[in-house]
């Protein structure tokens, strides 16, 4: 296996970057009236306009050469057929199987038909969701359920939470879904305060059923239930689990029929499509959950079959590589102009940074190039009054994805036209900027003196030539939300494949967990801490003193 820096296309891109250094995006438009049309492509209800990039036809052609040289075609085929792409854990990577179409009859992986298991679990979810909404499922005093609390963390939390929020207009009125993740007691106590144990069901989502935060919160929820009228015999009426560790869930008090399976071929951050998505299905109903899966499947099919030149995840992934590795971009911003999508950057941050925050090639050698960027962002227009200043005039190159629906679920007054106008104006301003002469003229027009013009004008210069993609959809629906998240999943995969890393393990988070247990033991005992560094010793002492 070779480092990507040894690829012919990588070397060609290194040379090409020098040619492009003096090229301005605006001039690319001026030289090619067809640019916007040529650099727009669509799939699964989304249109990607990638014309506002520092990229020429040659750039794109070299980037496509790069992904091909990295073996992307083969990697896609391996993922969809269930080969053990997650080599360090010897597992398949099959989140795409969770949303496979009904037309596909089976998918045998390691001797098991995974589609049969997926469909049986969907049926089990259907029954559960129906019983909750119909009122057939009753709490221990015979009342119908009004609230469901999802307890989980990481992939067992963010995806379901973000999608539930994104689908707010589709929420059912009869049941409110809440999310608890943090081990900080303020999270769960804030939620429990407003709930009634007679009418609340907890869904404990943990692939391993061994995650400290989730188990601590699950125990706190059970203590609250038992301390407020519930009994151990009734725990099974108020607690369900999504886990691959059935034994641990049964030991907790769940009835086996209320335990929804998880499989080792689904990574946590790719799991919202599985029973980990149960809170979504409860919030918006099973029909909408199926639409979400269908939207993701449409994007899967596009990714699997479309030519790379027209393939949204490939284009976005390759352009990301262009900025990270050839323009030294350290971060990538996601800015949805949609209130309901405001938390989406946090999910994609987890998806991408846990997947591609790696420094080791698949063969065990160290990488010699940068890998996953820092993903960040937030809703527009709010960010315009916060961090956009740095995007426009800061020293760093930050490629941006603008994401916007063409129509609103809440069309009041001129709000949506203003929202959309702001989205377009930001990408335009990033690209065109403002020259020193323009800044000077602007000041002269306001009557500034020549001295004032000279002093202030440089501060008003906006360099421009800053790249962005714009992703548009007609409306945020379960299907388009599903397709959007699948798009980012595959974009992550494209980049991980180019870099030759394993995007599907997460060994990096383990050390902190092990040390966390050691420190916890020291906080609650009189252990000799002199083996620790003096900073950690002093911080432990501060905690102990405050508890005394
Ligand atoms: O610590 C990281 C992680 O392993 C994630 O990958 C995972 O989604 C999360 O913890 C929660 O794990 P579990 O579902 O097993 O509780």
Which tens digit of pLDDT belongs to each residue from 66-110?
999 999 999 999 999 999 999 999 999 999 999 999 999 999 999
Examine the residue annotation and report whether 385 is marked as an active-site residue of this protein. Answer: yes
Question: In the predicted model, is pLDDT for residue 548 greater than 90?
Answer: no
Q: Looking at ligand 1, which residue's alpha carbon is closest to its atom 10?
A: 154
Ligand 1 centroid–CA 521 distance in Å is 22
The pair of three-digit structure tokens given for residue 429, joined into one six-digit string: 């301003």
Q: Looking at ligand 1, which residue's alpha carbon is closest to its atom 3?
A: 154
Q: Which atom of ligand 1 is nearest to the CA of 506?
A: 6
* Contact in structure between 27 and 446 (CB atoms under 8 Å): no
The pair of three-digit structure tokens given for residue 396, joined into one six-digit string: 């760093």
| Interface pTM, i.e. ipTM | 0.97
The pair of three-digit structure tokens given for residue 279, joined into one six-digit string: 């809170």
Q: How far is CA 528 from CA 206, 305, 533, 540, 541, in A?
A: 34, 61, 12, 11, 12
Q: How far is CA 34 from CA 31, 387, 425, 512, in A?
A: 9, 33, 21, 52
Question: In the predicted model, is pLDDT for residue 58 greater than 90?
Answer: yes
Kindly report the pTM of this predicted structure.
0.97
Name the β-bridge partners of 265. Answer: none
| Dihedral pair phi/psi, residue 458, rounded to 5° | -60, -30
Question: In the predicted model, is pLDDT for residue 443 greater than 90?
Answer: yes
The pair of three-digit structure tokens given for residue 234, joined into one six-digit string: 């009734």
Question: In the predicted model, is pLDDT for residue 280 greater than 90?
Answer: yes
3-class state of residue 279 by DSSP: helix
Specify the length of the chain in residues. Answer: 548
Ligand 1 centroid–CA 377 distance in Å is 23
Largest CA distance in the chain: 83
Q: Tell me how far apart the alpha carbons of residues 498 and 496 are, in angstroms, rounded to a whole number.
A: 6
Average model confidence (pLDDT) for the chain?
A: 97
Examine the residue annotation and report whether 38 is marked as an active-site residue of this protein. Answer: no
Predicted local confidence at residue 547, as pLDDT: 93
The pair of three-digit structure tokens given for residue 172, joined into one six-digit string: 């059912």
Q: Which of 165, 213, 291, 354 is catalytic?
A: 354
Q: Tell me how far apart the alpha carbons of residues 49 and 38 are, in angstroms, rounded to a whole number.
A: 9
128-149 pLDDT, tens digit each: 999 999 999 999 999 999 999 9
Q: Looking at ligand 1, which residue's alpha carbon is closest to its atom 13?
A: 206
Ligand 1 centroid–CA 516 distance in Å is 15
Chain CA centroid to CA 267, Å? 13
Question: In the predicted model, is pLDDT for residue 253 greater than 90?
Answer: no
Q: Tell me how far apart the alpha carbons of residues 178 and 157 are, in angstroms, rounded to a whole number.
A: 11
Cα 464–395–26 angle (5° rounding)? 15
Ligand 1: lining residues by beta carbon, under 6 Å: 153-156, 206-208, 211, 214, 268-269, 354, 506, 509
Predicted local confidence at residue 1, as pLDDT: 79
Examine the residue annotation and report whether 513 is marked as an active-site residue of this protein. Answer: yes
516-526 pLDDT, tens digit each: 999 999 999 99
Least confident of 82-86, 203-207, 253-257: 253-257
Q: Tell me how far apart the alpha carbons of residues 342 and 291 are, in angstroms, rounded to a whole number.
A: 21
Chain CA centroid to CA 120, Å? 27
Provide the percentage of residues in the chain whose pLDDT is more than 70.
100
């Amino acid at each position: 296996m070779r480092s990507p820096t040894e690829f012919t296309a990588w070397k060609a891109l290194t040379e090409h970057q020098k040619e492009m250094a003096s090229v301005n995006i605006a001039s690319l438009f001026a030289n090619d009236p067809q640019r916007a049309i040529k650099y727009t492509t669509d799939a699964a209800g989304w249109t990607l306009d990638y014309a506002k990039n520092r990229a020429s036809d040659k750039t794109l052609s070299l980037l496509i050469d790069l992904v091909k040289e990295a073996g992307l075609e083969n990697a896609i085929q391996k993922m969809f057929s269930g080969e053990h792409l997650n080599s360090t854990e010897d597992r398949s990577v099959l989140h795409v199987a969770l949303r496979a179409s009904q037309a596909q009859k089976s998918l045998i992986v390691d001797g098991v038909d995974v589609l049969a298991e997926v469909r049986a679990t969907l049926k089990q979810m259907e029954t559960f969701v129906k019983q909750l909404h119909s009122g057939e499922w009753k709490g221990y005093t015979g009342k119908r359920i009004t609230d469901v609390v999802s307890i989980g963390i990481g992939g067992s939390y963010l995806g379901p939470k973000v999608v539930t929020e994104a689908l707010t207009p589709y929420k059912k009125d009869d049941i409110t879904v809440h999310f608890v993740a943090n081990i900080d007691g303020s999270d769960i106590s804030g939620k429990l305060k407003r709930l009634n144990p007679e009418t609340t069901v907890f869904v404990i989502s943990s692939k391993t059923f061994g995650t400290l935060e989730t188990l601590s919160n699950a125990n706190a929820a059970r203590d609250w239930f038992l301390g407020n009228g519930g009994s151990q015999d009734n725990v099974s009426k108020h607690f369900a689990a999504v886990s691959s560790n059935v034994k641990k869930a049964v030991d907790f008090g769940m009835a086996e029929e209320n335990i929804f399976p998880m499989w080792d071929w689904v990574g946590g951050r790719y799991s919202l499509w599985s029973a980990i998505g149960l809170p979504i299905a409860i919030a918006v109903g099973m029909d909408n959950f199926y639409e979400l899966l269908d939207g993701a499947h449409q994007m899967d099919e596009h990714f699997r079959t479309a030519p790379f030149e027209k393939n949204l995840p490939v284009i976005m992934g390759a352009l990301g590589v262009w900025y990270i590795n050839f323009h030294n971009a350290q971060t990538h911003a996601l800015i949805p102009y949609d209130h309901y999508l405001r938390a989406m950057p946090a999910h994609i941050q987890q998806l991408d940074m846990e997947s591609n925050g790696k420094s080791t090639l698949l063969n065990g050698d160290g990488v010699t190039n940068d890998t996953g960027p820092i993903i960040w962002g937030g809703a527009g227009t709010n960010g315009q009054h916060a961090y956009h200043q740095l995007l426009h005039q800061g020293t760093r190159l930050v490629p941006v994805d603008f994401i916007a629906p063409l129509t609103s679920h809440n069309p009041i007054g001129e709000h949506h036209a203003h929202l959309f106008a702001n989205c377009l104006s930001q990408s335009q301003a990033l690209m065109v900027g403002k020259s020193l002469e323009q800044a000077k003229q602007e000041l002269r027009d306001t009557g500034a003196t020549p001295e004032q013009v000279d002093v202030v004008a440089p501060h008003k210069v906006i360099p421009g030539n800053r790249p962005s993609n714009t992703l548009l959809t007609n409306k945020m629906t379960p299907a388009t939300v599903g397709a959007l998240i699948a798009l980012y999943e595959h974009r992550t995969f494209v980049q991980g494949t180019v870099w030759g890393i394993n995007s599907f393990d997460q060994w990096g988070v383990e050390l902190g967990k092990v040390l966390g247990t050691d420190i916890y033991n020291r906080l609650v005992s009189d252990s000799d801490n002199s083996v620790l560094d003096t900073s950690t010793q002093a911080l432990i002492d501060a905690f102990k003193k405050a508890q005394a």
